[in-house]
Amino acid sequence: MSERKTIDLTGMRCPGPIVQLNAEIRQITQGAELEALSDDPAFELDAKAWCRRTGHELLALASADGIVRARIRRRA
C-alpha cells in the first residue's frame, strides 16, 4: 500500500497553501499521495496550475462546504 499524508491548509491565503503544499510534497516518497485541505478561494485553480507546472499528478479535486480537497501523487 502506498503512503498517504493529509495536510490541513485551512486559514492560509495565497500564496501560503501552495508554498506549504510544495514543502510537504518534498517530504514524501515518489508515488506517495498527499491530500491537501484548503479554504482559500484560489486554491482549486492554484493546485491545478501547480500540478501542471511541477509534473505531480492531480488524482482528485473536490469542493464541499467551503473546503477544497486535492489529492496529489508525487512524481519524480
Task: Report the catalytic residues.
Answer: 14
Quick one: which of 58, 39, 33 has its CA closest to 47?
58
**3-state class (DSSP) for residue 16:** helix
Q: What are phi and psi of 43, to 5 degrees?
A: -60, -40
Consecutive H or E run containing 45 = helix 43-54
> Which residue is it, cell 482549486?
44
